[in-house]
Every structure is written in structure tokens, then in C-alpha cells.
Structure 1
Amino acid sequence: MIRYLAGRIATMLGTLAVISVLVFTIIQLPPGDYLSTTIAELRAEGETQAEEKVAFLRDLYGLDKPLPLQYLTWVSGFVQGDFGYSFEYGRPVAEVIGDRLFLTLILNFVTVLFIYLVSFPVGIYVAARRYGQVDYTLSFLGYLGLATPNFLLALILLYFANTLFGISVGGLMDPDYTGEAWTAGKMGSLAAHLVVPVVVIGISGTAAMIQRLRANLIDELQKPYIVTARAKGLGERRILFKYALRSALNPFISDIGDLLPQVVSGSVIVSAIMSLPTTGPMLLSSLRSQDMYLAGSFLMFLAVLTVVGMLVSDIALALIDPRIRIGRGTA
């Protein structure tokens, strides 16, 4: 197992290195940059020393150096915890992100937890009672959840909350706690405000996982080894949980690596609509303004989530399924 983990971590680090090159290259592809836009704005305002100011900034942050040197400076800063400088906000990226990254992690962790906690009991229930009234009703609701974009659901909730109840469901905490230190009251406010965005962001993933789990379990329950287990007199509950469910788990364990970045990227528009203080709206702003270091930090954050999720799913698969070999011929 130790050799397996060492190999997977080495692969993860190599993958991140390749992704960092791709991210840096893609960020450099659009013509111009944030400082070029700054020159145009300063000239429009009648600033006579615009080019001198921008030249100073280019020299200060090494933007006048060749691209390979700029990349090495950027990557070496990541290793040291320095994510660069945000030109749009006029502060280091680490300070700009601040609590936004922490809140993003909390929001998406709770969303993934919500998806699994809801989809597994419902999926198992409808698979065990397939082709009944409950199965058809929950399947219809699942298809409805798949067909409804999460940003549209967010708009509907915002409208009805304001018109019917006169309250706002936007944000992740009460305005009084914004910028304050973390206390029990602030954590309680965060927990209360998490309910709506978690449901909005996770509803489509929950519906998709319910349908997949139902289909996988129905397929497993019709296989010959299940028929043999029934013929031997094993109870339906034991057959379902000990044999069929365990065999159907593999796709959902392997989905962990894809689910984390999907939830993060899918919550960008929802965060903008619901005024959530997460990294989503800031990512959109940084891409529009070509704030290269800020946008690159967000993209690398998604890459880290992806490779870490893949590592977690590989380890979980190796532990759950004995058929998966995790070494040179060792199960």
C-alpha cells in the first residue's frame, strides 16, 4: 500500500506540473493584459505618466521577462505560498482570496456530502421497490431535477423568498458578521445560510446519482449470483446491502474525483446570482479583466481539487473492492 500511495502521489505531482504549464499558457493567449488595459484607461483620463507607471509595474512583477522565466517565478511562488499579485485589487492574491477560499471549500464539501447522503438512501429505496408508485414518483422528480438548471432554480428561490416571505436568501451569513472574527454566532449564521445554496447547487448532482444508483442496483439484482443467493435462502436485505450494493459502488467511488471540480465550476453562476462570497464571482471578474495571477490561482485550485479527488477515489476503490490490485500482484 505504501508503494502504491507513493506512486499515486508522484503521478499527482507530475499531473499538477503539466496542468500549471497549460494554465499559464492559456492565461497568456489573449492579446494584451491587465496593464495594457490600465495604460488605455490612464490615457483616456489624461494621465501623462501612464506608460512610466505601467513600466514600473512590469519591472516590479517581472512581466517584462521572457515567458519561461515568468512561469518559473509563478510556480516557485506557489511552492512558497506566494500566489502572485492581483492587479485588479492591488493586493497579493493570498490576501484577496482570504475567507473566500475557505467559504468555497465549506460550501462545496457540504454540497458533496448532501449529494451522497440524499442520493444513496433514495436510490437504494427505489431500486428495492422498483416499478412501483414511489419509484415512478421519485424518478419523475429526479428527471425534473436533471432538467432544471441550478441558476434557474436559484432565481426562482430568490423571487419567491422576496415576494412571498419578504426575506433574502442570498449570501452565506448575516451582514453583521461580514469581516468579523469567527465565533459561534458566525458559524451558526453560516450553517443557516448554507441550506439554500447547497440544495440549489447539489440538486442536479443528487438527481443524476439517484438515477445511476437505481439503474446499477437493478442490474446487479438480476445477475446470476443474486439468483443463487436467493435460492440459498438469504434474506433480501442481506443480498441488497452485502452483495448487490457493494458491487454497484465502484462508479460512485470513482466519481469523487470528478464531482469536486464539477460542483465548484457549477457553482460559479449560482454564486454570482445569490451573491455568495465564494471564489466563483471573483474568478469571472479576474478572467474578464485578465488579472492573470488571480485567475491562474483559481484554475490551479480546481486542478488540485481534481487530482486530490482522484487520489481519494483510487485509495477508496482499492480498500473497498478486493478485485482491484494495488501493487505488483498484491490485492
Structure 2
Amino acid sequence: MILFLLRRFATMAVTLLIISALVFFIIKLPPGDFLSNQIAELRAQGEASSAAKAEFLIKQYGLDRPPWEQYLVWLGVWPGPAGFSGLLQGNWGWSFEFDRPVGEVVGDALWLTILVNLAVVIFIHVVAIPIAIYSATRQYSIGDYIATFIGYIGLAIPSFLLALILLFYSNRWFDISIGGLYDPKYAGQPWNWDKIRSLLSHLIVPTIVIGLSGTAAMIRRMRANLLDELGKQYYVTAKAKGLPHYQALLKYPFRMSLNPFIADIGNLLPHLVSGSVLVSLVLSLPTVGPILLSALKSQDQFLAGFILMFVAMLTVLGMLVSDLLLAWLDPRIRMGGGR
């Protein structure tokens, strides 16, 4: 077990290193950067003093160096300008668009993003699993047809469109706003019990909106997996030996049908972050999605690079969790690969 974890941590470190290089150089592919574009605009407007300040920032953060050297400085393995350290030293960089450190810009958005995605993952599994079991064990029943219809509706409706519909009709019919993750009066206020209660109440709508399509997809896939397992000989034999129906169902076919979903945990987390950007914009959610979109549009390289690395970290951690859960859930899966 310890050797398995050590190998996985080494693989994760190499993976993150490769991802960091791809992230940095892809961000640098478009010509120019935030400060260079700002200098060109300031010079066109005749503001020489402001342009001189921007040029000073370029030298201060090493943006006049070759791209490979900028990457190593950003990573923290190459000496940078005085007072500047990289990611490995805990310095996430400076956001030129917001004129603040990256850590201050993302701030609460990081853990709010994790909270929203965790709520969505729990919602998907809590809702989809019972419906899928009911639908598979009662194939072609009225309940199965209703679940199938709801699944198709959930897959067909774009999340941002559902967010717009709920936002409009909740304001029109009930005169309430469902935007944001807490009431506007709590913006910028320290966290207390009232703010936490406001957060929990506002978390319901984005959880349903973001998780609806994933829930519908999971219902369809798990139903198909269960139907395939229910027809196999080991399940028929278990029932023939007198094992109660639901005990046989949960002990064997249900566990086997969970394997693909456990394996997808690593892909699910970044998918939720990237797929919820439009929903976050519509519902004014203070998550990292809108910040990332703004940073990419303005070529704010340190801010965009850190958020993309944050999503990559979620991916590799999700992969590790899925591997551990698979090894625990299915005894046929061996960590070391030996026999």
C-alpha cells in the first residue's frame, strides 16, 4: 500500500510538471500579454508615464525574459527578479488585470468552487443511484419510462438555459433572486452563522442546475450497467441459492456497476468546473470559472496559469481517490498488479 502511494505521488508530481509546462506555453502562444497590450493602448492615448510604469512591471516580473526562463521562474526553480518567487515557494504570482496578488483575487473563490462541486457530486450520486436501481429492477414499467423521460430531458436542457429560466421565473412569480451564493448584504463580511445559513440556502439552486445533466447521464449509464449485470450467471445463481433479492442485488451487481463511475471521479471534478462557467456567469456565482474566463481573455498569465493548475490538481487528486476506492470496492483490482 505504501509503495503504491509513493508510486502514485511520483506519477502525480511528473504529471503536474508536464501540465504546468503545457499550461504556461499555451497561455503564451497568443502574441503579447496583458502588460504589453496595456502599454500599446497607453502609448496610443499619449499617456507616457503610465506606459513607463507598465514597462517597469514587465521587468519586475521578468516578462522581458525568454519564455522558457519565464516558465522556470514561474515554477520557482530559476532565480527571478528580486523579491519574486514561484509556485513551489507558495507565490502564485500577480494579477495585472486586478492589480492584486493572485491569492487575493481567487480568495474565497477556491474553496467556494470546491464546495459547489462537492455538493454537485453528492447530489448526482444521491439522486441518480436510487432511480437507476428502481429503473433497472423494474424494466419497462411506468416508473422506468418516467425515469427514462426525465433522463432525456435532463440531458437535452443546457444548464445555462435552465439557470436563466429559474432566475427569471423565481423573480417574476416569487419576487426573489436566486443569484449568488449568499445575500448581497453579506458580501465582503466575515463569515458567521447567518452568512453560512445564507450560503447553504443559496447552494440548492446551482447544485440542481449544474448537477441535472450529470444526474440524467448517470441514471442512463447505471441502468444499462445494472441490466447487464442482472443477466449474468453469478446473480442468477445467488438468487437460486435463496439469497434475498435486494441483498443479492446490492452485494454483487450494484458493486460491479459502480466501477465506471468510481473511475470517472477524476474526470468529473474538472468537468464540473469547466462546465459550470456559463452557469456561474448567469447566476453570479463567485467561483473560479468566471475569473478564469476573464483572465484568459485579458491574457493575465499568472492568474490564468494558477487557476488551470488548480483544476489540474483537482484532476490528479480525483484520480488518486478513484484508484483507492476501486481497489477497496472491487477485490479483483490489485494495486501492485502482482498475483
Separation in 2, partners of 1:92, 1:7: 34
Q: Percent identity?
A: 59
Distance in 2, Cα, partners of 1:217 & 1:58: 58
Letter in 1 for 2:275: G
Segments of structure 1 that go 5 or more residues without pairing to the other structure are none
Tell me which residue corresponds to 1:188.
197
1:277 shift after superposition: 1.0
Q: 8 Å contact 2:106–2:288 — kept in the other structure?
A: yes
- Distance in 2 between residues matched to 1:69 and 1:36, nearest whole Å: 18
Query: What amino acid sits opposite 1:232 in the alignment?
Result: K
Distance in structure 2 (CA, Å) of the matches to 1:44 and 1:198: 46
2:323 is aligned with 1:285: no
Q: What is the correspondence of 1:44-55 to structure 2 with a 5 Å cutoff?
A: 44-55=44-55
Question: What do residues 133-171 of structure 1 show as CA deviations (whole Å, max 9, x unaligned)?
Answer: 001001100110001110010011011111111111100
1:190-209, Cα deviation, whole Å (9 max, x unpaired): 00000000000000001100
Residues of 1 paired with 2:16 and 2:110: CA distance? 19
Contact 2:39 2:55 in 1 (8 A): no
TM-score, reference length from structure 2: 0.95
Contact residue 136 and residue 224 of structure 2 kept, 8 A: yes
Query: Are 2:168 and 1:159 aligned?
Result: yes
- Once residues 99 and 325 of structure 1 are traced to their aligned partners in structure 2, the CA distance between those partners, rounded to angstroms, is 39
Aligned length: 330
Displacement of 1:320 in angstroms is: 1.2
Q: How much has 1:49 moved relative to structure 2?
A: 3.1
Instruction: Tell me, in whole angstroms, the C-alpha distance in 2 between the residues paired with 1:8 and 1:105.
Output: 23
Determine the C-alpha separation between the residues in 2 that align with 1:230 and 1:161.
Answer: 50
**In 2, distance between residues paired with 1:164 and 1:233?**
55
Equivalent residue for 2:249?
Answer: 240
Aligned residue in 1 for 2:58: 58
1:227 is aligned to 236
Deviation at 1:51, TM superposition (A): 4.0
CA shift, 1:239, in A, is 1.4
Task: Give the structure 2 partner of residue 177 of structure 1.
Answer: 186
Give yes or no for the alignment of 1:26 onto 2:35. Answer: no
User: In the TM superposition, what whole-angstrom CA distance separates every residue of 1:250-269 from its partner, at most 9, and x where no partner exists?
Assistant: 10110111111111111111
Encode CA deviations 1:169-215: one digit per residue, 9 max, x unaligned: 10000111111111111110000000000000000001100111111
Q: CA offsets, 1:24-70, max 9 Å, x none? A: 01000001111122112212432123442222111110111122221
Please provide the CA RMSD for this pair.
Answer: 1.1
Would you say 1:136 and 2:145 are equivalent positions?
A: yes
- 1:64-213 residue pairs with structure 2 within 5 A? 64-76=64-76, 77-213=86-222
